[in-house]
């Protein structure tokens, strides 16, 4: 909030150091790094990731007693997907999961 109210900007290294950013990447490595992270997300269980994103946003406006039933229901929704079964099987077989978004 201090940064927003004061208008003070900080450099990338400082943002990383104080936990405001997850990574600090030199300019010349930025495109490769970004594509690598985007590819990682694209290979993930997109249906479950969408539900997680929705739960995070809802969680900002709810207390825990309101949020836990939604999280429980979300687990039920994702438990019956191909991606969940594939993820469990890949874990058992110690291999990379091949998610399909279903």
Q: Burial, 35: exposed, middle or buried (Cβ in 10 Å; 0-12, 13-18, 19+)?
A: exposed
Q: What band does 5 get if pLDDT is binned at 50, 70 and 90?
A: confident
Query: Over the stretch 40-99, which tens digit does the pLDDT of each residue have?
Result: 999 999 999 999 999 999 999 999 999 999 999 998 889 889 999 999 999 999 999 999
Q: Which two tokens stand for residue 94?
A: 């110690």
- The pLDDT assigned to 31 comes to 96
Q: What is the pTM of this model?
A: 0.69
Give the CA angle between residues 19, 33, 38 to the nearest 5°.
90
Domains of the chain: 2-34 (no CATH), 46-92 (1.10.12)
- C-beta of residue 15 within 8 angstroms of C-beta of residue 27: no
Backbone angles phi and psi of 73, in degrees to 5: -65, -35
Which has the higher per-residue pLDDT, 98 or 1?
98
């Amino acid at each position: 909030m201090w940064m927003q109210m004061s208008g003070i900007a900080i450099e990338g290294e400082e943002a990383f150091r104080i936990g405001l950013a997850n990574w600090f990447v030199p300019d010349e490595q930025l495109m490769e790094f970004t594509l690598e992270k985007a590819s990682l997300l694209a290979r993930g269980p997109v249906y479950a990731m969408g539900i997680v994103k929705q739960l995070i946003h809802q969680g900002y406006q709810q207390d825990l007693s309101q949020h836990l039933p939604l999280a429980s229901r979300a687990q039920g929704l994702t438990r019956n997907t191909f991606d969940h079964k594939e993820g469990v099987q890949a874990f058992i077989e110690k291999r990379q999961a091949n998610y399909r978004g279903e």
